[in-house]
A and B are shown apart, each in its own frame.
Chain A
Amino acid sequence: MPESDSESEILNQAFELGYTYTRSTGPVVGRFLTGLRERQVVGNRGSDGRVIVPPMEYDPGTAEALSEFVDVSEEGEVVSWAWVKHPREAHPSDQPFAWAMIRLDGADVPMVHWVQANREADINTGSRVRVRWAEETTGSINDIAGFELV
């Protein structure tokens, strides 16, 4: 039997919780995210001709695969909004802000994102907003670092 040390030896192994793989986002979501990396917002046309932003893989009404991409503006209009007085830790802003449904110029379907505003009274339904790009874009919905009031 080996002699035991007076100080017992503790085995250690670093462990990082995470995924060891990446997942392809495919031709539709991938096209949108790649667009964001290049600071361009891309939508696509639904079966009824409406421009959907962010693009959808399949039309929710007809189940048709959607492939006609359309570049849209980085400016748009607030369709609805909610004022966050007390941001949660997970939220994208630590200052009060608004979540909003924003219809970008050239799009028919509003997208959900957030708007920076100093006070609740500064934002309204119909307010004009513009994308604020992240300093470094990586191909994520968070390449849009919120919208700002125009």
Chain B
Amino acid sequence: MRDIAIVAFHQSRAVADAGACNEVEMIMPVLNEVYQQVGINNAQDVDFVCSGSCDYLQGAAFAFVAGVDALGAVPPIKESHVEMDAAWALYESILKLRMGHADSALVYGFGKSSPGELPVVLSQQLDPYYLAPQWIDTVSLAAMQARLMLDQGMLTERDMAEVVSRSRRNAMRNPAAQLAGDVSVEQVLAEETYLSPLRKADCCPVSDGAAAMIICTVDKAREWGVPYALITGIDHRIETHNLGMRDLTDSVSTRQAAEGAGVGAGAIDVAELYAPFSHQEIILSRALGLEGSTSVNPSGGVLAGNLMMASGLSRIGEVFKRVVSGEAERGVAHATSGPCLQHNLVTVVEKA
């Protein structure tokens, strides 16, 4: 099987409200950035393009097609889209490369969540007969998951506040972060509850922005003459849509995906986890078997800024950056989709 190299990654700054800037205008700067990183001109210079976005955010069917305007798709290009986080667009692109149908691929994801009421928009991804008609929002579902763990003594509110405090402090070194600061555990705990048992700080912010990545074969990376990291494993698993049938205090699908991706084959220097709620970072760390030697969410994670449909790809990009810089030799990135960590993708990125 052909090895897959990551050669470029960029994420826009996560902002609460991009204002009049539309999706194409959010995508173009990140594409230009990754083109520059490998020294190519545009999407014509890669063999395949795949994007991740959600039409519900724009409130129009096939809204994602407008995103293609950012590519300059004339003459025609080979292009695909997933109605998922762009981490799954990366997965599709990897399959394309492994099958020998392409030697390079551009992957991007974007989301402008500010115009709508995101938790309510996401309620419509739930079971269409039993849940969506109740308009139960995704924050409330996560709050019930947190309470299950608190009730069973599997974590404390202090444990959750520690996740928030570490995220805010790590994010001070991340220029793309929306929320950053020297915030102590006590300051978090002093905050009143928002959707009890969750405090607002336990929840990721609503953000606008985009991210892009370029992957290719090792031969292509050498031809381009740029530093690269290798994707040595990737797998994704999903759990039932029936929340009552799941063990919400664990992430069985993350555990399975980690096994499939070969996470246990070596030490993990860095892990970037897509945990939109503080308690979920604890669930994921346990499911991945992370130990104290692993730096978890050095970017601040998505509590510092959550680009819908791009944050999963960004987790992989954040690990890539640290491996290429020599800060880490081997890292794990995680992406999620669906309520209470229903669907999880795990990627292993290693030094070339």
Contact = CB atoms under 8 A, between A and B. Distances in A.
Contacts of B193: 83, 85
B196 A85 contact: yes
Contact of A101 (B117, B134, B144, B197): B144
A141 B151 contact: no
A54 B197 CA distance: 26
Contacts of B137: 88, 90-91
Contacts of A65: none
A140 interface: yes
- What is the interface residue range for chain B against chain A? 20 to 34
B155 to A, nearest CB: 14
B129 A92 contact: no
Contacts of B135: 88, 90-92
A109 B242 contact: yes
A120 B117 CA distance: 24
Interface string A60-85: 10000000000000000001111111
A132 to B, nearest CB: 14
Contact of B242 (A52, A83, A88): A52
Given A56-B245, A82-B143, A109-B245, 18 more contacts: A52-B242, A54-B130, A60-B239, A60-B242, A60-B245, A80-B145, A80-B151, A83-B143, A83-B193, A90-B120, A90-B135, A92-B135, A99-B140, A99-B141, A109-B244, A111-B244, A112-B141, A141-B129
Contacts of A111: 130, 244
A111 B119 CA distance: 20
Contacts of B148: 79-80
A116 to B, nearest CB: 14
Interface residues of A, number: 33
Interface string A40-59: 00000010000010101000
Contacts of B11: none
A92 B135 CA distance: 8
Given A54-B130, A91-B135, A82 B147 contact: yes
Given A114-B134, A141-B129, A142-B134, A101 B143 contact: no
A100 interface: yes
A79 B148 CA distance: 8
B131 A112 contact: yes
A75 to B, nearest CB: 17
B187 interface: no
B242 A56 contact: yes
Interface string A121-140: 00001000000000000001
26 contacts: A29-B129, A46-B245, A54-B129, A60-B242, A80-B148, A81-B144, A82-B140, A82-B144, A82-B198, A83-B195, A83-B196, A90-B123, A90-B137, A92-B134, A99-B143, A99-B144, A101-B244, A109-B242, A109-B245, A112-B141, A112-B144, A113-B134, A114-B134, A141-B130, A142-B133, A142-B134
A85 B195 contact: yes
A113 B131 CA distance: 8
A137 B174 CA distance: 53
A113 B120 CA distance: 16
A85 B194 contact: yes
A109 B137 CA distance: 21
B196 A112 contact: no
| Contact residues of A: prevailing secondary structure | mixed
Interface of A: 25, 29, 33, 46, 52, 54, 56, 60, 79-85, 88, 90-92, 99-101, 109-114, 120, 125, 140-142
A84 B195 contact: yes
Contacts of A60: 239-240, 242, 245
B270 to A, nearest CB: 33
Per CB-CB distance, the 9 closest pairs between chain A and chain B, nearest first, are A60-B240, A82-B143, A90-B135, A83-B196, A109-B244, A80-B144, A110-B244, A99-B140, A82-B140
A51 to B, nearest CB: 11
A46 B136 CA distance: 25
B99 interface: no
A120 B147 CA distance: 14
A112 to B, nearest CB: 6
Given A60-B240, A141-B129, A82 B134 contact: no
Contacts of A81: 144, 147
Contacts of B119: 88
B130 A112 contact: yes
